Structure 1
Amino acid sequence: MNRRKTRSLNVVQHILLIIMCFIAIFPFYWMVISSFKNESEIFTASFIPLKPTLENYVYAFSNMPIVKMMFNSFVIAILMTASQLISSLLAGYALVRWQFKGKILIYTLLSLTWLIPIQAIMIPNYILINQMGLNEKLLGIVLPFGVSTFAILSLYQSFKAFPIALIEAARLDGESDFGILLKVILPNIKSSVTSLGILLFINGWNEYLWPILITKKMENAPIQIGLRSFVSSDVNMWGSLMAATTISCLPILIIYLVLQRQIVDSFVKFGIK
């Protein structure tokens, strides 16, 4: 009887998993097949293109500098990830390693800044970037995101869980604080750093609202801004939009296929925290 209940429960669980997987994958599948449909077929309910065409991809490449914008997205995501990881490593280590007045206050303020929506500081940031002459430049997009409170607090927990005895032993051996961070701590928490880096890269790649304020020319913007050019008040080029969106999803899809275990672990790890 117990075996029968267990089998029934497993069947129900697998059915639910299949349904959830279908719900998650179907929008991506519909986007891909829609990119191969012509204008007369784009709004039909067919699950496969009846007359496949590459016109949408040709139109997307001819009307938008996709390669340049993809390069911009890569540079933005990499620079954001690198700057946020470096700053969070240094800040998290300082908060755990050193005892100083105002430490609790700084940690509290960092936690509170995480609650401030990005829309509340967009205007001051835009004025500052404009005064610095960084409009239409990738540095103007990256600079306001050079530090991530989420990254600092995440690595703070990893540093806090690290054995103090190992740090003190390295200190007795004559290692500096920077040497302890690089040679002792970092090799032991590299999985946490890698997981965090993956999340930061995905966030940087998907950044949309801030770049659209800084860039006006398409060749200076990330790929997400270019997708907007296919939707207007007059004409909506849905087929070309699906083609350009499919192309923009390929890098993240490839990264996911290569690093799927690390990505799943990162969502589980930081979701629990």
Structure 2
Amino acid sequence: MTTDTSRDHSPSGVSSGSGALRKVAVHGVMIFLSLVSIFPIYWMIVTSLRPENEIFSTTLWPSDPTLENYVFVLTRVPMLQMLANTTIVAAATAALQVVTGLFAAYALVRWRMRLAGVVHGLIALSWLVPFQVTMIPNYVLASRLGLLDTLTGLIVPNAAHAFAILLLYHGMRSFPVEILEAARIDGAKSWKILWQIITPNMGAPIASLSIIAFISAWNEYFWPLLLSRKPENSVVQIGLQMFMTQEGNLWGPLMAAAALASLPILVIYLLLQRHVIESFMKSGIR
């Protein structure tokens, strides 16, 4: 009795092969897009290391790297002071937006008041108004309060933001009502409920808001340009503009200053990469 040892080729091998090919293609596209995203940062750093006679060279690495552009930036412009000012402004703005957002969100969610829906709608509509529309009234008010050319003047107009209120509002609405009612029955007041019960359990929305507010304040340009007078009282974005003149742009120093301005954000992201990604995913930001 003979046994047929021939086997039929099942389509599973073909499907697994096509699946592996699809994965390779997807990873290839992701690697390509990553290189495209990273290349401008690489080119900025390379250009900052080029001597003046090689600024417009297309080589991927300068033949004679130098730190002259960084020395020029640090000696001609108070860049370190501007970086410190920017850090203070960004950190204070992010912290104030978190605090004011928590207060407003708690009031909208927990306090029963008339026209609460209208207030919520007005807050949402104010988010659509660009800051450039309110810059002049803010400037007049800052001038009357003596806040021109001060860090306080850069912080106060951005201390509250509609985005912060809406983000924390939606996060607070999903908080279990039973826990809050139990705390209220035990005699806890609104202040204790907000800071000891709600806030510790809203880590993801608060972290997401802090990151977004910090980066937004770090990149702010128009308001500091309008309010600042002296370089030592200004922020790093104004320092970058100083290397762009009518006679021409100082590309080497400009790239060096841009690298110094980007370095803190890059370091923060590299150190907190996992927390940044998790906070954005948990908060539902897309």
- Give TM-score scaled by structure 2 length: 0.93
Aligned partner of 2:28 in structure 1 is 15
Asked if the contact 2:171–2:283 (Cα under 8 Å) also holds between the matched residues in 1, the reply is no
Aligned partner of 1:34 in structure 2 is 47
Following the alignment from structure 2 to structure 1, what is the Cα–Cα distance between the partners of residues 283 and 180? 25
Measured at CA, do residues 80 and 44 of structure 1 come closer, stay the same or move farther in structure 2, by a change above 3 Å? same
Aligned partner of 1:66 in structure 2 is 79
State the one-letter code of the partner of 1:114: W
Aligned partner of 2:270 in structure 1 is 257
Following the alignment from structure 1 to structure 2, what is the Cα–Cα distance between the partners of residues 227 and 241? 6
1:224 Cα deviation from its structure 2 partner: 0.9
Aligned pairs for 1:189-268 within 5 A:
189-268=202-281
Measured at CA, do residues 108 and 177 of structure 1 come closer, stay the same or move farther in structure 2, by a change above 3 Å? same
State the one-letter code of the partner of 2:175: F
1:185 Cα deviation from its structure 2 partner: 1.0
1:191 Cα deviation from its structure 2 partner: 2.3
State the one-letter code of the partner of 2:275: Q
Q: Which has the larger radius of gyration?
A: 2
1:130 Cα deviation from its structure 2 partner: 1.1
1:196 Cα deviation from its structure 2 partner: 1.4
- The gaps in structure 2 that reach 5 residues or longer are 1-13
Match of 2:132 among 119, 127, 141: 119
- The gaps in structure 1 that reach 5 residues or longer are none
Aligned partner of 1:91 in structure 2 is 104
**Per-residue CA shift, 1:59-95, capped at 9, x if unaligned?**
1111000111111001100110111110000100111
Aligned length: 273
Following the alignment from structure 1 to structure 2, what is the Cα–Cα distance between the partners of residues 269 and 230? 41
State the one-letter code of the partner of 2:30: L
1:128 Cα deviation from its structure 2 partner: 1.0
Asked if the contact 1:114–1:150 (Cα under 8 Å) also holds between the matched residues in 2, the reply is yes
Aligned partner of 2:200 in structure 1 is 187
Following the alignment from structure 2 to structure 1, what is the Cα–Cα distance between the partners of residues 36 and 284? 21
1:272 Cα deviation from its structure 2 partner: 3.9
Q: Does the residue aligned with 1:52 lie in a helix, a strand or coil?
A: coil
Aligned pairs for 1:1-12 within 5 A:
1-12=14-25
Aligned partner of 2:114 in structure 1 is 101
Measured at CA, do residues 272 and 67 of structure 1 come closer, stay the same or move farther in structure 2, by a change above 3 Å? closer
Aligned partner of 2:180 in structure 1 is 167
Following the alignment from structure 1 to structure 2, what is the Cα–Cα distance between the partners of residues 267 and 207? 22
State the one-letter code of the partner of 1:237: L
Asked if the contact 1:196–1:266 (Cα under 8 Å) also holds between the matched residues in 2, the reply is no
State the one-letter code of the partner of 1:229: M
